[in-house]
Each structure stands twice: as structure tokens, then as C-alpha cells.
Chains A and B, each alone.
Chain A
Amino acid sequence: MMRRLAPIAAVAALAVAPLVLDTYATAILTRILVYALLAASLDLLVGITGLPSLGHGAYFGTGAYAAGWLAVHVTANAPAGLAAAVVASAIVAVIAGSVCVRARGVFFLMLTLAIGEIVEQLAQSWHSVTGGSDGLYGIPAARLGATALTDVSAIAWYVLAVFVVGMAALRCIVRSPLGQALRGIRDNEARMSALGYRTYHYKLAVFVIAGAIAGLAGGLLAAQQRLVTPADLGFSSSAPILLAVIIGGEATPWGPCLGAAVVVILRDVFGPSLGGHGSFVLGAVFVATVFVMPGGLARLRRKGQGQT
């Protein structure tokens, strides 16, 4: 009973938060939600299917650029922006995934890293569309119907709503027959093949789904930040989000979200006061996690209960 109530209580608390917190804290909370959705989408690949991606930022960034570009050039309509984000990132994910999912384990990691960087380089050089290294700035506020989302609280609620929908979709997939098949591939791909599963197709499918949801999160980033830079696409985005999944706990319902909160707080809240050395602390936290807390934060409480 408690387990079912907890998420509802959490969402309720998050909904009330903007009314209670100041502007800065609300903005941080919104950022956390965006990255939490991104981390959860990555966990579908890493924790559930066993495909460790170091290039997930590419789909996040593609979604952000797509939503941003649409808002600047066509319409600031929020749902349209999200739709553009999802479609664009899904297309890139299909192309990249068709190559990447032929590999496994660390080899897959290498490929996703390389492709992520190539996508970032593309964003750097394609001035006309992406604005090059200056990024896509001056993105107008997203509009829901007639209202422009300029108020920090309004943005927070908008992001929360999409976050809930995205997380619900992810939880749904994880508990479905598809999710079970993906876990089977993670545990023993050879056996899945021997049982008649076309594992390549499943892996490609999850790669695209994860990429699309990452793109959705990217659309939210564009609405909140109103600026998209190549850094949102590349290693500086992909690495922390993978670390977030690991620190928080792979294949756990809320671990990746916790991890994302840790990463955002370390980098954005404490980073400036650490003299911009957020990366250092992140790296240190990560090394500590790997040695001291295998299984991440979420598993500290659930030690010995086995995996999802």
C-alpha cells in the first residue's frame, strides 16, 4: 500500500513546491525534473536492457534543438515543440541505433560515445540551423494555448506534468512483456536468441524509445532554459547523466531520478561555490560510488532484495 502511495505523495509534494520555494529553488527543481526524465530514459537502456550508453545526450540535445528551432521559426506552441522534439530525436536514434546495437557491452559504450561526439561536432558546425557554438538563443517562451509560460512556477508545473507522463510511460514499458524481454536480453542475450527472439529488433526499439523520451526531456529544456548549446548534446551532457544513473541505482524505479538530483545539485548549486569545479566533485563522487556503493543510492536501502 505504502509503495503505491509514495509516488503519488511525491508528485503532490512536487506540485506544491513552487508555491513554497523561492524562484531560484523552483528553477533548480525544474531542472532536476528535466534531467530526472532524461536519466530515467537512459536507465531503460542501461539498467533494463544492459546497453551502457555514453552518448545519450545526443538525443536530448537533438530534441532541445528541434523544439527550440520550431519555437523560433514556426510556432511557440508547447505541444508542437514537444512533438518536434520527440520526432527529431527518434529519427536520429534510429540512424545511430541501427549501427550501435550491433555491439554490446563496452564496445557499445565506445560507439555511443563516438556518435554522440560526432553529433555535437555537427551542431557546432551547422551554423544556419543550430547557431553553431553560440547555440540557439532567444527561444520564445512556450505557449499553452494563449498563455506564454514565462512564470517560473508555470514552467515548473508544465515540466512536472510532462515528467509525470514520461515517467508513467517508462514504468509501463518496464513492467510490460516488452520490458521483460529487454531484461532477458540484458541477462542472457544468447539464450533469448536461442528461444527465437529477434534481439537486434528489440534493442533497436528500446534505443529509439529511450532516445525519443530523452528528446522529450530536451523539449522541456528548451522551454525552461530558452537556450540550447552544443554542450547539451555532447559528452558534457552524456557523461553526468550516465553517472547519475549509476549513482542513483540502475534498474530501480526512482534511482536514476535521485542520481539526477545529485548531479544537478552538485553541478549547478554547489558548482559555482566550488569555483566551477563541479566536474571534479562529480568525478570524485562517482569513483566513491563505484568503490563504496556498488548498486548506487537506491540499493542502499534495498540491499539483499535482488534486482528489478
Chain B
Amino acid sequence: MPAWLDTHFISLLNGLAIGSLLFILAVGLSLIFGMMDVLNLAHGVLFLIGAYVAWWFAGENPSMLQFLGALVIAGAIGVLAGLGLSLTTERLARRSHLDQALLTLGLALIAGDALSAAFDNDVHTINPPPGLDGSVLLLGKAYPVYRLLLIGLGGVLATIVHLVVERTSLGALVRATVADRHMVLSIGVDDRKVKMVVFAVGALLATTAGVLGAPVYGARPGLDSTALILALVVVVIGGLGSVRGALFGALVIGEIESLGRALLSNLASFVLFGALAVVLVLRPRGLFGASTGART
């Protein structure tokens, strides 16, 4: 095995784990934005809510049952939050998309502050539940089982989302709305219901990502901004409304964050910006985004 692979094997795997987490987080953002042109700036705070739910419900050393319980609770909160966001932004549907985005920003500020108040400003760590807290030997190195699970989960969820979007009629509706919302409206589909479903599922995925990410990132203030930014970069690179794009973007960003920081430390930020810039200059709609061929 080549020497550099040996040294950086762990970072590579970490990159996949981060990428999986990012995918789960970003795919909802991408679909909501791609479908409704609503930029959900509260997406990061949903992730943070998931993380805090994990800490509050499951504690620092959760049992498997507690961990699963946290997932369920976070999921429920996610669905409710998604529906709530969908309804509030709907009231501004006639105004600009900017207003809707900024509304979600205002709500994110409120929620973020409320979380700070409820949970103070300390960094809370959560350990993986027993059974998932060990390590496994891979190529002679110990690697946490939990992160391997994350990689697996990411793959499974990607497949599920892909199948739903490509093979079901709901998925067809989602794809059609991304391609041409007005056309979908004119064939009589109530896009508000579709919007509510997509928002709810997207938010559900975000809070779930928060719980799943808790054993890796813990729960602390500031996590919402970091999560939001990374999700946005993933969506920009991958293209709006594209599941494949979200997966590809998430893996790329995951590797930049992991391998990039290991190799280049501070310069990794430059690489992030550089990747963003390169993609946008060559393909302004993202790598897998819809291309209309217009010369804009």
C-alpha cells in the first residue's frame, strides 16, 4: 500500500464519515431550495437542536435505547419544525425569495438564542452508545466503529432518498417541481402540500443528522453556523435540487474538511473557497444543477 495512503487512511475515512453526515444534513436543504427557492437559513439550527436533544435526552453516556429514543424525539421535532417553517414562509410566498430566506434567518437567531438560554454555553460531549463505542482494526489501524456506522448510514440513506426521488410518484413530483414549478402548478398539483412534505422531511433529516453527529461533534453554540455554512457549500457545489449533487458535494467537502485540514491545516479554508470558486466559474449552477442553456 502506498505510503501516503497509509498515513492518511484515517483522515480519508473521517472524510467519508463527515461527508455522510453532511449529506444527510444538506440533501434536505438542497431539495427545499431547489423546489421552492426558499433558502432555509434555519437548517443549521435544526442540526443543533438534534445535537442538544441527544445530550438532553440521552446524556453523556447513553444506552442504545436512549440513543434511539433521542433519534425519535429529534425526528419528531424536526417534522414539526419543518411544517412550521413551511407554513410561515408560505405566508410570504408572494414576496421575494429573499424575504423568505431572511425570515428563516430571523427564526434561526431566535431559536439559536433560545437554545443558548436553555443549555448554557458549555461544550457538551456525547459518547456513542455501548456496542458502537469500540474500535475496529482496519489495515492495521484502530478506527471507531461509530464512524464506520455513519459511513454506512450515509450510504443507506443516499440510496433510499435516491430511490424515492427517482422511482416514486412523490419523487417525480419533486423532480418536476425543481425543473419547472409553474408547470406543476398548472397541472393542478397543490405545490403547498408538496412543499410541506419536502420541508418536513428535510428538517427531519437535519435534526437526525444532529443526533447522529453528536458523538462526533458534541453539542455547543456555534455548531449551527458551522453546519449551515458547510451545508450551503455542499449545495452550491452539488447543485440545487439534486440528490446526486448533494452526495458528491458532501463527500468532496467532507474530504476537504478532513484530509484537507490534516494536510494543509489553515490553508484548508482556501481550498474550500477555491473549490467553490472553481465549480462556480465552470458550472454556475453547480456540478449537477439544472442547466437551461441560457447565456446568463
Contact = CB atoms under 8 A, between A and B. Distances in A.
A and B touch in the complex (CB under 8 A): yes
B160 to A, nearest CB: 26
Contacts of B23: none
A122 B274 CA distance: 13
A99 B270 CA distance: 14
Given A106-B97, A117-B229, A125 B265 contact: yes
B225 interface: yes
Interface string B94-109: 0111110111011111
A290 B232 contact: no
Nearest to B234: A114
A287 B269 contact: no
Interface stretch (A73-81, A174-182, A276-284): A276-284
A117 B228 CA distance: 10
A290 B284 contact: no
Contact of A106 (B98, B228, B280): B98
Given A103-B280, A279-B112, A286 B98 contact: no
B37 interface: yes
Interface string B13-41: 00000000000000000000100010100
A287 B107 contact: yes
A107 B117 CA distance: 32
B266 A291 contact: no
A121 B257 CA distance: 12
Given A99-B281, A106-B33, A282 B269 contact: no
Contacts of B142: none
B110 A284 contact: yes
A242 interface: yes
B233 interface: yes
A93 to B, nearest CB: 14
A99 B275 CA distance: 11
A109 interface: yes
A106 B117 CA distance: 30
Do most interface residues of chain A lie in helix, strand or loop, or is the interface mixed?
Answer: helix
Contacts of A15: none
A111 interface: yes
Contact of A99 (B106, B109, B280): B280
Contact of A239 (B98, B109, B114, B277): B109
Given A239-B105, A246-B102, A290-B99, A121 B232 contact: no
A102 B106 contact: no
A59 interface: no
B235 interface: yes
Nearest to B103: A290
A27 B241 CA distance: 48
A245 to B, nearest CB: 10
Interface in B37-55: 37, 39
Contacts of B226: 117
Contacts of B167: none
Given A103-B280, A113-B232, A117-B225, A242 B113 contact: no
A115 interface: yes
Contact of B229 (A106, A113, A190): A113
Interface in A264-295: 275, 277, 279-280, 282-284, 286-287, 290-291, 294
Contact of B273 (A106, A115, A279): A115
A280 B109 contact: yes
**How big is chain B's contact interface, by range?**
35 or more
A118 interface: yes
B106 A290 contact: yes
B276 interface: yes
A52 interface: yes
Contacts of B265: 125
Contacts of A111: 236, 276, 280
Contacts of B97: 105-106
Which of B91, B233, B284 has the most chain A CB within a 10 Å cutoff? Answer: B233
Contact of B284 (A103, A113, A115, A282): A103
Interface string B217-228: 000000001101
B101 A106 contact: yes
A286 B113 CA distance: 14
A105 B106 contact: no
Contacts of B99: 290, 294
Contacts of B68: none
Contacts of B233: 114
A109 B112 contact: no
Contacts of A126: 266
Which of A242, A280, A294 has the most chain B CB within a 10 Å cutoff? Answer: A280
B272 interface: yes
Given A109-B101, A294-B95, A284 B106 contact: yes
A294 B91 CA distance: 13
A283 B109 contact: yes
Nearest to B117: A277
A280 B45 CA distance: 13
Given A107-B240, A287-B107, A290-B106, 8 more contacts: A102-B281, A106-B33, A106-B39, A106-B98, A109-B98, A121-B269, A242-B102, A282-B109
16 contacts: A52-B98, A105-B96, A105-B97, A109-B98, A110-B39, A111-B236, A113-B229, A115-B273, A115-B276, A117-B226, A118-B273, A126-B266, A239-B105, A283-B107, A283-B110, A286-B102
Interface of B: 33, 37, 39, 91-92, 95-99, 101-103, 105-110, 112-114, 117, 225-226, 228-229, 232-233, 235-236, 240, 265-266, 269-270, 272-273, 276-277, 280-281, 284, 296
